[in-house]
């Protein structure tokens, strides 16, 4: 199982939100390139970036900052947030992003999403972000009106190989992960799951590690690292 540290971007800076609430933002660093380098030096084998500006308003983005990060490190980078057109997918692919995570397009325009999966089967991953079992989209600002597990089954049938599953109610809270929800998503879809939301301790990572047998292949965490609950190096070692 792989540990994937997260960098969430607003105005080119590293931030964390509390349960996706843009009004409850905490800034952690001015230079995300430096942060990415530090994560790499501590043993990270993959990096997760969320463009929160684009997630809220697709007319805005942190593409230049993302490109700087990708060019600065020698590990693969996955990106999510506001990716709602084939053009944005092409832009991110052209700067070297290795995995592109899509949620809102999946719900609003599943045919367009499926076309991207068919064209870039190794590149596209599905983002399923849920609160009380219901999918949320558009930077978690509105309900997608779908059951999270049912959406997981739908993307499985489209041929998606990876789901990034986040329990919004836990994200940024340091209250612990939704272990039962993660297990259900893995068991009922049969798709490889990368889990996010609520990670607060090494013990949380050990609990998720027990889900490897169900198809959970990775864990994303950001706030716990910034709040010094554990280091990237410790997380990588525990999950290995």
CA within 13 Å, CB half, 14 = 20
Active-site option among 8, 171, 178, 204 = 8
How far is it, in rounded angstroms, from Cα 161 to Cα 158? 9
Instruction: Reduce the DSSP state of residue 87 to 3 states and report it.
Output: helix
User: Can 41 be counted among the known catalytic residues?
Assistant: no
How far is it, in rounded angstroms, from Cα 118 to Cα 203? 38
What would the two tokens of residue 28 be?
């952690």
Active-site option among 11, 30, 53, 129 = 129
Answer yes or no: are the C-beta atoms of 49 and 9 closer than 8 Å.
Answer: yes
H helix or E strand, kind and range, residue 5: strand 2-10
Instruction: Reduce the DSSP state of residue 170 to 3 states and report it.
Output: coil
- Which positions ≥6 away from 53 have C-beta within 8 Å? 9, 10, 11, 60, 61, 62, 81, 82
User: Can 53 be counted among the known catalytic residues?
Assistant: no
Report phi then psi at 208, rounded to 5: -70, -35
Residues marked active site are found at 8, 129
């Amino acid at each position: 199982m792989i540990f994937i540290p997260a960098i969430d971007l607003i105005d080119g800076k590293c931030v964390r939100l509390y349960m996706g609430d843009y009004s409850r933002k905490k800034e952690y660093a001015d230079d995300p390139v430096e942060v990415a380098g530090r994560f790499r030096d501590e043993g990270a084998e993959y990096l997760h970036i969320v463009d929160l500006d684009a997630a809220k308003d697709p007319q805005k983005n942190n593409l230049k900052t993302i490109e700087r990060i990708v060019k600065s490190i020698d590990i693969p980078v996955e990106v999510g947030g506001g990716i709602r057109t084939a053009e944005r997918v092409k832009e991110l692919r052209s700067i070297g992003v290795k995995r592109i995570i899509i949620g809102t397009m999946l719900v609003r325009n599943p045919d367009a999403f499926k076309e991207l999966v068919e064209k870039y089967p190794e590149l596209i991953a599905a983002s399923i972000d849920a609160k009380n079992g219901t999918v949320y989209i558009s930077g978690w600002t509105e309900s997608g009106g779908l059951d999270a597990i049912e959406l997981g089954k739908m993307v499985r049938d489209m041929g998606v190989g990876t789901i990034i599953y986040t329990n919004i109610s836990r994200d940024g809270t340091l209250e612990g992960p939704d272990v039962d929800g993660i297990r259900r998503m893995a068991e009922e879809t049969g798709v490889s799951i990368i889990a996010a939301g609520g990670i607060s301790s090494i013990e949380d990572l050990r609990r998720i590690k027990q889900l490897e047998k169900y198809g959970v292949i990775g864990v994303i965490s950001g706030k716990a690292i910034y709040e010094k609950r554990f280091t990237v190096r410790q997380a990588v070692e525990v999950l290995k």
